[in-house]
Structure formats: structure tokens, C-alpha cells
Structure 1
Amino acid sequence: MSDERDLEPDCELVGIVAVADNDVIGKDGDMPWHIPADLQHFKKTTIDHPVIMGRVTYEGILEALGEPLPGRTTIVLTSRDLETPENAVVATDLEAALEAAERAARERHDTDRVFVAGGATVYEQFLSALDRLVVTEVHDDPDGDTRFPTWGRESFREVWRDERDGFAFVEYARRERMD
């Protein structure tokens, strides 16, 4: 795989994640909480957009829903050979994933926004190329085996926040890059 810093997306690249105060995002391949409002927020935010994710995240969605995310094109970043339905595509590296997502954004969804939806390794690989982060900040410290990578908050500025009971929806935009 190439270095993520070489990625130059032609679209807005947005990470979307639910993360606890202790940076936990998963436990045993699942989220260690159940927040229906977060699931609704994820759906509302990503519908009609391509979503890049790793194989484990994709398989977790298949197990939960019986199909890939409806109303979105799923790009599965994996080195494994997977059979996918029409609204899912396998990509073996970052460039192929981004290319497939950008093509789906133009041809299927009429948008210029692509989402990155995990897991931890996928977030880490795309982190330096993200223009925005849409974060559900879960005000808890659950046990977990998967953590969101260190993302350098100083590189982003908070542009929107909606506090709820026990969590907050927050959007961060990347600060202007210093050349």
C-alpha cells in the first residue's frame, strides 16, 4: 500500500466515527454501546454517498443488516477476495478505494463527498487526507479492543456541536494546510 499522504482526493473526504472518551470504537468486532440516535445520524449523514470501510466493518454490517448499507455504495478495503452485491466494491489499496468511491460519487450518487467509516486501520490510513470528521463523542469509558487513532485535533477546528444526553454529535473541519 502506498503512503496515505500521497492521496489527493478530487472530492471531500469525510471520516465518520462514534468514539468514546477513552478513544474506544469497538469491542469484539462490534460497537460497545447501542445509541439509536447515533445509528440514525450515521444513516442520515451517509445516505446517497459512497462509504469506504475495511472488511471487518463490512462483515459486521452484513451480519447486522443482511446486506451492505442500503442507499450507499460500499467500498471494502481488503486484500481478500470477496463476493459483493452491486452496491459494494472491493478495493485492494487506498488509491483503488478512493478511485472507486469517487467514481460512485459522480456516477451513482451525484455528490462530491465520500465517507470513511472504519475500522481503526482504515481510519489511520486515510487520516491525513480527511477534510472533515463527523464524530459522535460518546461520554463513557467502555472496555474495548479497538481504538480510534490519534488524529491531531490541532489540525482540525470544531464547526458544529449538538450535545445530547451521554453523547454529542460534533463536526470538525481541517484547518488550512500550512505549506
Structure 2
Amino acid sequence: MTSFKASTLLNQLVSVAALAENRVIGNDGGVPWPDLPEDVRQYRERVADSPVILGHKTFESMRGDLPGRRQIVVSRTVDAVDDPTAVVAGGVDAAIELARELVGDRADPETAVYVLGGGTIYELFQPRVDRMALSHVDGVYEGDTRFPAWDEVEWRVVGETEYEGFTLREWVRRSNAS
């Protein structure tokens, strides 16, 4: 793995996820908790005009309602996807390079590329992300997919908003926090 940070290539690389108190993010291709419309709304608003990075299974599960302006699908086995807004990257470095090309020379320091999962994709990108926008869902749920553990010493919460059923926390890697 290359030792440079994503922010040397991009303005911000941000993981976005909803996770239960036990870090469960999914079960059998869906979420195990009741619908949280406010979470879906804030998530869609956040990623709407940005490139997103996601795994092939996550991409396929969202086919009818793809998030973001462009999708970078990380897969070692798929050469192409049948969607005009999506491209395939063979790994983390290739995905970050594609994201850098999509973002281009945008002057806005808040321009972000969002990592949307699934579990393996979050794990692969965790060492590279600058921020995390995590919806901490109330409760413990059974599931087959978890968000990777992170060392809270390396991160700090810079924003927190309470909603019914979850709390949205904005985490920033301490080396990036001012």
C-alpha cells in the first residue's frame, strides 16, 4: 500500500455509513433496523453532487437509485459495469486516482469523495479517509456486515446532531483537524 494520504490527491475522502451500537451496518444485503427517513435524507443530500466509491455488491444493491454524481466501483473481478455514470477500479489506489480525475482542479477545499461501503470497502479505505460521517443508530442489531473498528485516539468528533433513532457524528482524523 502506498504511504501517501488521500488528501494529497483529493480535497477530502470521507466514509459515510449508518452503524448500530455494535458496529453492524448490514444483514443479508439490507439494514437490520427500522426505516430512518431522516438518515436517508441527510445521506442523499451529502453525496448528491459528489463522486462516490463503493464495492460491486453495494453498487448492485443500489442500481435503481444510485447515489452521487459518479460511482467508482471497486472490484478485482468485474471489468465494466453497465451504467453510464459508473467506472470500475481494481483497488484502492486505482479508485483514488479515478476520484482525483473526477474532482479535477476544483478550488473548493470542501470538495469530497465519499466511501459508501460495503464492509470490505470501508476496511480497505479506512487508513486513507480524512473524515467519517457516521449515523450512530440507537440499539444493537444482528448482522453479517460491520463497520471497521477505529482508534478513537486518532479521531475527534467535530459535529453531532441528534435525530429520532440515531445521532449523526462528524469525525475528523486528528492529523487533519485544526
Q: Which residue of 2 aligns with 1:101?
A: 99
1:20 aligns with 2:20: yes
The secondary structure found in structure 2 opposite 1:158 is: strand
Structure 1: gaps of 5 or more residues: none
Q: Tell me what 1:80 maps to.
A: 77
Contact 2:70/2:86 (<8 A) preserved: yes
> Contact 2:36–2:165 (CA<8 Å) still a contact in 1?
no
- TM-superposed CA distance for 1:35, in Å, is 1.0
Contact 2:71 2:87 in 1 (8 A): yes
- CA deviation map 1:38-61 (0-9, x unaligned): 111111111111100101111110
- Kept in 1, the 8 Å contact 2:116–2:122? The answer is yes
**4+ residue runs of structure 1 moved beyond 2 angstroms?**
3-9, 80-84
User: In structure 2, what is the Cα distance between the partners aligned to 1:171 and 1:119?
Assistant: 19
Which residue identity lines up with residue 13 of structure 2 in the other structure? L
CA RMSD of aligned residues (A): 2.0
Contact residue 56 and residue 119 of structure 1 kept, 8 A = yes
Match of 1:45 in 2: 46
Q: Please give the alpha-carbon distance, in whole angstroms, between the structure 2 residues aligned to 1:98 and 1:91.
A: 9
Query: Aligned AA for 1:52?
Result: I
Q: Do the aligned partners of residues 167 and 67 (structure 1) sit closer, same or farther apart at CA in structure 2, a change above 3 Å counting?
A: closer
Q: CA deviation at 1:128?
A: 1.1
Q: Structure 1 length normalisation: TM-score?
A: 0.87
SS across alignment from 2:175: coil
Asked whether the 8 Å contact 1:102–1:112 carries over to 2, the reply is no
Provide the residue aligned with 2:62 in structure 1.
61
How many residues in Structure 1 have an aligned counterpart in Structure 2?
Answer: 170
Structure 2's unaligned 5+ residue stretches are none
User: What is aligned with 1:92?
Assistant: 90
With the length of structure 2 as denominator, give the TM-score of the two structures.
Answer: 0.87
